[in-house]
Chain A
């Protein structure tokens, strides 16, 4: 039985943007016939770095087709930098969710997008540098580590659902277990909740702790570059901040917030925190 959402059915039955762009600005070709699914994504990007058109061709099951279709809809009109931030979870969410065994279809979408953007920018994909762990599906350690981190995977089964690794002969199971253990234990924030159990931290404690970390760990660094940060609000796990000074006009402000501020707060306060900029 198919447990597909209406959105998946809709995109499967009437897929959007099917085809190939003539003389594309960037092409992403991922998957293979052997793997059972493959996606060729072509992008048209204008001189302002805006994606003006996106088309796809997909060989695969209903969720692979739907993921590709919704992805082309998502990226059209976006700046390349914005499109580059789309995760597989975003794709799955745009479809109203995917069955867990089908999450790898959304990962394939993100991979194709990444490859197309890398192609446009003339960059090499980090994937090619990894070491192949799952020989059946040609999945590298870098891809697996990334999926574990991005989607907070905690079991071999989840790794298989997201990356297909281990879904064939199963010989790489030991390697997968090792990568999982190393990746998870290498991320201290996963064990932080034991030190600061989320349930026992009151809102007030949480705010105080966040302020403390901002003051001690984050502001000195930003100030060095002529910027600053201010805590606006804490609503549940959402931490609303405002960037000041040089940070405000910096094109990398989003990276600063996600890669630097959020990472630090997750590491030192609570792993579930989400930092957002006040608009």
Chain B
């Protein structure tokens, strides 16, 4: 059995998060004695069904939604595919999708497949971003046409934490009768969301990004929005998603959403302060380091810094020796031999893109941990720069 490594400084929370102990506790009964099928007629199963209803209320509360607008899925990717494919089936005569160049592969690759696998039956407009990772709203407005079935724009970027103005974008889509989907996997639990006042038709979230387990997600479907299911099957989830419910994880996600609501202030104060301390210190003490992404329009927990003339995988491997967990947008870590599509879309020069490191914090991080990272990073970067033929320091 793999056991947790002690002394790990975990700053990779945009990849996945620790399951909160409160969440584990809430789940345990459904992994042990309460094993009934929520669809059963008997009380034994019916009580389990009640726990799903409770979880749905909790998820809805975090999003400012109604419980009936919450559909449980298996992950963020399933939610994304369900929303976009539903829109295309709702408006079969429309053949155009608007998205961005910096989407997560869950949306990016689906859109690519909709072009290529269908023999270019669908047309995709990918909005540009500027050097700060922000969208051009004039370009967005011009991209919306009568042929557009759906807009899919992430709420916050997983690599840089940059937040897009989805409320405004959804309003503009709605005015033109176009459906709007947002992949909010990184935003939910980190920033306040109130869907009641928004024109967002679909929203995806993923449990494991907010201290619930992996393997559970949600698709929010606005009341009144036309919907075609992705997975046909039983009557579960009001017929919107067949398949016996992942009860324990759904209960866990409900508890995690409840906790996220309670900790929202902490996330945007204490966690943000830790992030700011890490960010400003590293940028100040390490020469030729730069922030990737907008200075303020950003998630409170995320910072992406490029250390010029060194390579990200080598940095991560050194950090790993000190038990520090983070991510990189370098070619060697992206699995594609090219640096991250997000940083390239932002026009981050190659000298910097290969040496980008993303730190993503959570409520479990401490100031001591931040200070350890601050203490270790300068030596790591300096030792690698000594090896670099491009470093003339």
Cα A38 to Cα B384 in complex, Å, equals 13
- Tell whether, in the assembled complex, residue A34 and residue B389 are in contact, meaning their CB atoms are under 8 Å apart: no
A34 to B339, CA, bound (A): 9
Q: Is the CB of A58 within 8 A of B389?
A: yes
- Give the residue name and chain of the B residue nearest to A170 (CB): B336
Q: Within residues 23 to 65 of chain A, which ones have a CB less than 8 A from any CB in chain B?
A: 29, 33-34, 36-40, 57-62, 64-65
CB distance from A70 to the nearest CB of B (A): 14
Q: List 5 A-B contacts (CB under 8 A).
A: A13-B321, A15-B387, A37-B311, A60-B332, A168-B338
A59 touches B331 (CB 8 A): no
Min distance, Cβ A253 to any Cβ of chain B, angstroms: 38
Scoring B residues 224 to 235 as 1 if CB is less than 8 Å from chain A, else 0, what string do you get?
Answer: 000000000000
Residues of B with C-beta under 8 A to A65: 314, 387
Known: A15-B387, A33-B350, A136-B338. A59 touches B309 (CB 8 A): yes
A275 to B99, CA, bound (A): 60
Tell me whether A168 and B313 are in contact (CB under 8 A).
no
B349 nearest CB neighbor, chain A only:
A33
Cβ of B339: which chain A residues have Cβ within 8 Å of it? 36
A142 to B347, CA, bound (A): 32
Q: Which residues on B sit within 8 Å (CB–CB) of A58?
A: 387-389
Chain A nearest CB from B122 CB (Å) reads 20
- The residue from A34, A61, A136 contacting B311, defined by CB atoms under 8 A apart: A61
Per-position 1/0 for B303-321, Cβ under 8 A of A: 0000001110110010011
Contact status A39-B389, CB under 8 Å: yes
State which residues 169-228 of A face B: CB under 8 Å: none
Q: How far is the CB of B1 from chain A (nearest CB, A)?
A: 17
Complex: A129 Cα to B388 Cα, angstroms: 28
CB neighbours (8 Å) of A164 from chain B are 337
B311 adjacent to A57 (CB under 8 Å): no
Of residues A13, A33, A64, which shows the largest number of chain B Cβ atoms within 10 Å of its Cβ? A33
| B contact residues around A101 at 8 Å (CB) | 335
Closest 5 CB pairs of A and B: A167-B337, A61-B313, A57-B389, A36-B331, A61-B332
**Does B120 interact with chain A (Cβ within 8 Å)?**
no
**Chain B contacts for A62, CB-based, 8 A:** 313-314, 317
How many chain A residues touch B (CB < 8 A): the figure is 28
Whether A18 is near chain B, meaning CB under 8 Å from some CB there, is yes
Q: Which positions 125-153 of chain A face chain B at CB distance < 8 Å?
A: 136-137
In chain B, residues 131-145, which have Cβ atoms closer than 8 Å to a Cβ of chain A? none
Q: B35: CB under 8 A from chain A?
A: no
CB–CB A60/B314 < 8 A: yes
In the complex, A67 has a CB within 8 A of chain B: no
User: Distance in Å from the Cβ of A101 to the closest Cβ of chain B?
Assistant: 8
Residues of chain B touching chain A, judged by Cβ–Cβ distance below 8 Å, are 309-311, 313-314, 317, 320-321, 330-332, 335-339, 350-351, 354, 386-390
Contact B331 A2 (CB under 8 A): no
From 57 to 105 in chain A, residues with beta carbon under 8 angstroms from any chain B beta carbon are 57-62, 64-65, 101
Asked whether A160 is an interface residue with its Cβ less than 8 Å from the other chain, the reply is: yes
Q: How far is the CA of A58 from the CA of B390 in the complex (A)?
A: 9
A61 and B332 alpha carbons, distance in the complex (Å): 7
- In the complex, A40→B320 CA distance in Å? 27
- Looking at B331, B335, B338, B389, the one whose CB has the most chain A CB atoms below 10 A away is B389
Query: Are B351 and A33 closer than 8 Å at their CB atoms?
Result: yes
Is B337 a contact partner of A33 (Cβ separation < 8 A)? no
Contact present for A168 and B387 (CB under 8 Å): no
Least Cβ–Cβ distance between B328 and chain A, in angstroms: 10
- B389 touching A36, Cβ below 8 Å: no
CA of A108 to CA of B254, assembled, Å: 52
- Chain A residues closer than 8 Å to B331, beta-carbon distance: 36
Contact A36–B337 (Cβ < 8 Å): yes
| B350 engages A18 (CB within 8 Å) | no
A33-B390, A164-B337, A167-B337 given. 7 additional CB < 8 A pairs?
A12-B314, A37-B311, A58-B389, A59-B354, A61-B332, A65-B314, A65-B387
* Shortest Cβ gap from A73 to chain B (Å): 15
A163 shortest CB reach to chain B, Å: 10
Neighbouring B residues of A61 by C-beta, 8 Å: 311, 313-314, 317, 330, 332
Shortest A123–chain B CB gap in Å is 22
B330 touches A36 (CB 8 A): yes
How far, in whole Å, are A39 and B388 apart by their CA atoms in the complex?
8
Contacts of B309 in A (CB 8 A): 33, 59
CB pair B351 A36 closer than 8 Å: no
Task: State the Cβ distance, A146 to closest chain B Cβ, in Å.
Answer: 19
Q: Name the CB-closest residue of B to A137.
A: B337
On chain A, the residues within 8 Å of B338 by CB distance are 36, 136, 167-168
B residues in contact with A18, CB < 8 Å: 386-387
Q: Considering the chains assembled together, what is the distance between the CA atoms of A2 and B315 in angstroms?
A: 13
